[in-house]
Structure 1
Amino acid sequence: MDDEGLIAALIDRFRQRHGIDPGRVFVTGFSNGGQMAFRLAARTPERIAGIAAIGAGLPTPDQWEGSGPKHPMPVLLIAGTRDPIMPYEGGEASVFGFQKRGTVRSAEATARAFAEVNGITEPPVSWPPTPSPDGSGGFDESGDFEGPLVIETRYTQRGKEPVVAFAVRGGGHTIPNPDYRFPRLMGRTDDTLDAPAVIWAFFAEASQTDGPVIP
């Protein structure tokens, strides 16, 4: 399937029929969709103004058919530390240990890779974990995780495109949100981070800067 061609055709169609601004095209995806966002950032950066990926890690260099991302753009990442499909610490991605899908970088290495592409040399700044509103966040007496905690890490530098990474401690292969719960098989669904709202705000801020230009 020519996924890249389909998305390019959709952008052109929306441009012709609805007059969208081709310099304000953003891509977000979950799981395989996140991997597609990475692929588009790497192979069609002239069409994409920024990406957001949930539950996806950058493939290791040996997994790329071509080169990885090289064009600076705003990037937002969200990853659960107990994702049963996409390993937070990197390694073999699989469907619950079966149907291996190739190796990926860790969530932190993924964020660092995009920060490097964006030319960011200053150290990232992280916000410490925050307990959930009902007080369930934290660790029990045995040291096991109890309740969702979210850490936000920002890679920023004046004049450079930002990279923002959310680590959902104890989160599974899910989209954090306050309204819907993914099946338990996928792991914990965090309700303290509203991923769609965060992504929308991130793209809205990024859209205030100059995006790619399609001739």
Structure 2
Amino acid sequence: MRRLPAIVLLSLSLPGLPMHRARADEAALFPYQGVHRHYVLHAAPNRTGPAPLVIALHGLGESVEDLRRSWTFDDVADREGFDVVYPEALTGRWSYVDTRSVKLPDGQGVVDDFGFIGALLDKLLADHVADPMRVYAVGVSNGALMAWTLACSMSDRLAGLAALISGMVERQAEQCHPKHLVPLLVLAGTDDLVQDYDGGMGDNFRLMSVPETLEFWRRLRGCTGMSMRELPAHAPDDPTEAVRVDWTSCRDSSPQRFWRIEGGGHHLPSFFPLSEREKQQRHGGRSQAIETAEEVWAFFHALPTK
């Protein structure tokens, strides 16, 4: 088991992605715990009334704009007619479990990101921005760790959740008692050494392996079957392979899907190749077998409303 660094900076910029159309995004500050928290709301164009909402959580050391540049999710939202809200973590790190808490700026207490995200959702529902029956969450890397906390403690408010390129921390599993089982999409690269696919020990935490994380949720769901599909290579020079695993015969028909990226590193799969800068970061290879943003929304869109 590899030892994990206490802090790993994540950058997932994708130069060369299609330019987003000009739009009136709402960048705002939201007061919570005596701190003005930053978020961006990307509203689908030409919609009337509340729309499906995806809460998108960035990675460690990133900003809202870093995540927005890293994939094509806003373009998918424009085409499909849903909104995306991007909350921003204080100091670039989510306070997702008690043993990994972030201090408030005044040093008097710890950041309550679970409460912040819940309060922000309350505001968007009160403003009739979001459809309360179609609220979803997706997190990337450190944002996926925050998403796991939402799966455990906010399952009654979510119609679906995606955790990308990170398993759970053991402490999260110990404290996880969801009111119901939210439909779950997981994606991870088998060669990811940043949020290690095989798990590992940090200074005061243990990162569960991705298979261990999936088994934790399979047991909760009581799934007894599984189907598997391998995707053909999208690019001839792509050494990775994308395998889609779906668990079946689960209680309450709550789906659990896993995209296993064989040979993939700490990147979101995309049809766009790594830039030279990203190659120098040594986060491993990026699969070109699927476009992550498309697969996340396809999973959410196929789900029944909560």
- TM-score bracket, shorter-length normalisation: 0.7 to 0.9
| Corresponding residue for residue 142 of structure 1 | none
* Per-residue deviation, residues 119-165 of structure 1 (Å, max 9, x unmatched): 32x2222224x44234345xxxxxxxxx0111111112264111000
Whether contact under 8 Å (2:234, 2:290) holds in the other structure is no
| Corresponding residue for residue 189 of structure 1 | 286
How far apart are 1:16 and its partner, in Å? 1.5
Equivalent position amino acid for 1:181 in 2: L
> What pairs up with 1:11-160 in 2 under 5 angstroms?
11-60=121-170, 63-64=171-172, 67-70=175-178, 71-92=180-201, 100=203, 102-120=205-223, 122-128=224-230, 130-136=231-237, 147-157=239-249, 159-160=252-253
Whether contact under 8 Å (1:11, 1:22) holds in the other structure is no
Q: Which runs of 5+ in 1 are unaligned?
A: 94-99, 138-146
After the TM superposition, which of the residue ranges 67-76 and 195-204 deviates more from structure 2? 67-76
What is the alpha-carbon distance in structure 2 between the residues aligned to residue 22 and residue 170 of structure 1?
Answer: 38
The alpha-carbon distance between structure 1 residues 16 and 180, as it changes in their structure 2 partners (threshold 3 A), is farther
Whether contact under 8 Å (1:173, 1:186) holds in the other structure is yes
* Per-residue deviation, residues 38-63 of structure 1 (Å, max 9, x unmatched): 00111222222221011110222xx2
Equivalent position amino acid for 1:149 in 2: E
How far apart are 1:180 and its partner, in Å? 5.7
**TM-score, length basis structure 1:** 0.80
* Per-residue deviation, residues 182-209 of structure 1 (Å, max 9, x unmatched): 6122111111111110000101111xx2
What is the alpha-carbon distance in structure 2 between the residues aligned to residue 191 and residue 119 of structure 1?
Answer: 33
What is the alpha-carbon distance in structure 2 between the residues aligned to residue 101 and residue 188 of structure 1?
Answer: 29
Q: Which runs of 5+ in 2 are unaligned?
A: 1-110
The alpha-carbon distance between structure 1 residues 133 and 19, as it changes in their structure 2 partners (threshold 3 A), is closer
Greater relative CO (CA pairs within 8 A, separation 6+): 1
| Corresponding residue for residue 29 of structure 2 | none
Whether contact under 8 Å (2:235, 2:289) holds in the other structure is no
| Sequence identity percentage | 27
Cα RMSD of the aligned pairs, angstroms, is 2.1
List structure 1 runs of 4+ shifted beyond 4 angstroms. Answer: none
What is the alpha-carbon distance in structure 2 between the residues aligned to residue 118 and residue 67 of structure 1?
Answer: 17
| Corresponding residue for residue 165 of structure 1 | 258
The alpha-carbon distance between structure 1 residues 181 and 135, as it changes in their structure 2 partners (threshold 3 A), is closer
SS of corresponding position for 2:254: coil
How many residues in Structure 1 have an aligned counterpart in Structure 2? 190
**TM-score, length basis structure 2:** 0.57
How far apart are 1:64 and its partner, in Å? 3.1
Equivalent position amino acid for 1:86 in 2: Q
| Corresponding residue for residue 96 of structure 1 | none
How far apart are 1:169 and its partner, in Å? 1.0
What is the alpha-carbon distance in structure 2 between the residues aligned to residue 192 and residue 34 of structure 1?
Answer: 21
The alpha-carbon distance between structure 1 residues 193 and 114, as it changes in their structure 2 partners (threshold 3 A), is same
The alpha-carbon distance between structure 1 residues 69 and 81, as it changes in their structure 2 partners (threshold 3 A), is farther
The alpha-carbon distance between structure 1 residues 80 and 65, as it changes in their structure 2 partners (threshold 3 A), is closer
* Per-residue deviation, residues 45-95 of structure 1 (Å, max 9, x unmatched): 2222221011110222xx2396225331100000011111112122236xx
What is the alpha-carbon distance in structure 1 between the residues aligned to residue 186 and residue 290 of structure 2?
Answer: 13
